[in-house]
Amino acid sequence: MLPASKMRILNFHGYLLRGTGSNVYNAELARALVAAGHDVDLVCQEKNAKELEWVDALGTWDNTGALVVEDFGIDRPDGRGHCTVFLPPIADQLPVYVQDNYKGFAARTFDQFDDEELEFYIARNVMAVKAVVERNRPDFALANHMVMGPYILAQALGGEVPYVAKIHGSAMEYIVRPHPRFLPYARTGVGEARAVLVGSRHIAERAWDTLRIPGLEKRIYLGPPGVDIERFRPAKNAETALAELAGVAERVLELPRLGYGPGQKVATDAFYDRVRTAARMDGMMGYAEVAEEIAGMQTTYENDGIDSGAGDALRELVAAGDAPVVLYVGKLIVSKGVDLLVAAWPLVRNAYPDARLLITGFGAYREGLEMLISALSDGDLVTARWIAAGGRAFEGGEAEPLKLVTGLFDALEADDDALAEYLEAARGMRDSVTFVGRLEHDLLTGVIPVADCEIVPSTFPEAFGMVAAEAAACGVPPISAEHSGLEEVTAELRERLSGASAALLSFPLTPGAVELLADRIRGVLALSADQRAELSARLVQSAEARFSWAGVARELVAAAEGDSDSLRRP
């Protein structure tokens, strides 16, 4: 139970409040804390914070370096806390963990920042945190990510305000572990935290191995993200789910839709023609040129926006009626494994030719996915193989093959009948795939319930499986890769399930993973109405029992107060 007295909490996140797992974590945590009566000072870079209904004020710095706070004058009910978002003046240089495009920022990965640039970023944030502390005197603070949040708080607070570090995973795996330059920052920041929260046992073990801080094991506790079980709920029936999806389509049509659109599709198709030729002519185009072209194409639209045709695309999905729907929610980057789902789709269509694949999210691999789908839809395995061999080059990075996808192609080419069957099912598959771009949580609550299953195929370690938990709360079976935090979420969801249905919720990332993923999807689609209803009800029960943002807020406060008896060990 949260303490009866009102507390003021400083939360340093440093990024946006929408789209990615850690962004959503901090937004939902702030919402839960103010609902419980606490005041929150949220330090981030969400320039559209005024649009968030739970934010009461916005703090910025003027040209003289003075902090200016605009109170929105919103009349709130008694007992509710107050949230102010503060935007440190970092110019437009935003260091990130995975390369992607962020509107209004020149985003680069941390390792691309030289020492002077990095120190500028740190200094500006330290200055901002000090100003917030001087103004509001928080009771405790929260730092997100292994770098740079904890280090910034260590420098800014000087031991005067206790803080908790929350390790999400991406900073550790993408920056600290492969780039030893950042290890001292991580050791200092996490080392001075009163407590450390992690989303899973997997992340705890990785953190111990990475940081090697004496006594860290005694200060590390489980603090996974949660699910808003009031908003993420199952639809009453299939008709209601379609009606809710229709409502989402109408709402989308009223929103700015500046993401991927017809112009980008023309450009992608034109580049795809060059890729097809390159796949057949050695030396015509290298993967470095592919990466450069992809990066240039993504400057022509808001990469993290809603697709211009999203509203009409959702209307078409509604019109498809009771056709099976398979859903993906997440970043469109290679690490999230969405390529596995696309490669598995012909195997699903072979058994369920009217099935639809709905892909929501944004990311640097959008054009790569579009071209992989085009190649398979054309029955062109030569081009599909060349795209898979280039891997990350098709998201603007270094060439790195998609080994699980190329492994599928190798297996198919060793069996003429299987290859012919796969290519026949793949032909025309583009018409069964719907992209919509990024949809915020308030829209996703009306999208997820229409799905028969939701796929979480990440090939990179995950701190937690938030999207899997949200799907379960909606009564939709999540099918997750069998590793890291995803495996731990799946284990909790399986506790109320029988062996047969429990086995459908995950697949291993072993050779044959694409075929195993397709097998799990077909297994869910083959369930009878009664079996689906039973599975859905048990998933909802598990989500309600295991995950809630109110519980996340309670764990944070307990960690800050040193109340280890109220916390769970990894």
Instruction: Return the closest-CA partner of residue 400 out of 392, 411, 410, 388.
Output: 392
Q: What is the reported pLDDT for 2? A: 40
Q: What is the reported pLDDT for 354? A: 97
Instruction: Return the closest-CA partner of residue 99 out of 334, 428, 443, 380.
Output: 334
Report which residue type is found at 299. T
Percentage of the chain beyond pLDDT 90 is 85
Instruction: Return the closest-CA partner of residue 89 out of 73, 116, 66.
Output: 66
CATH of 8-226+548-564, one of 3.40.50.2000, 3.30.230.10, 3.40.30.10, 3.40.50.300: 3.40.50.2000
Domain coordinates of the chain in residue numbers?
Answer: 8-226+548-564, 238-319+328-546
Identify whether the C-beta of residue 190 lies closer than 8 Å to the C-beta of residue 39: no
Average pLDDT of the segment spanning 350-379: 97
Local confidence band at 464 (pLDDT 50, 70, 90 cut-offs) = confident
CA 195, CA 562: separation in Å to the nearest integer?
8
**Global pTM value:** 0.78
Q: Which residues pair with 9 in a beta bridge?
A: 40, 140
- Within its chain, how far is the Cα of 210 from the centroid? 23
> Under CATH, what is the fold of the domain 238-319+328-546?
Rossmann fold (3.40.50)
Average pLDDT of the segment spanning 426-445: 96
**pLDDT higher than 50, residue 320:** yes
Q: What is the reported pLDDT for 5? A: 74
**pLDDT tens column, 132-148:** 999 999 999 999 999 99
Identify whether the C-beta of residue 335 lies closer than 8 Å to the C-beta of residue 459: yes
Identify whether the C-beta of residue 11 lies closer than 8 Å to the C-beta of residue 26: yes
CA 343, CA 119: separation in Å to the nearest integer?
43
Same fold, 8-226+548-564 and 238-319+328-546: yes
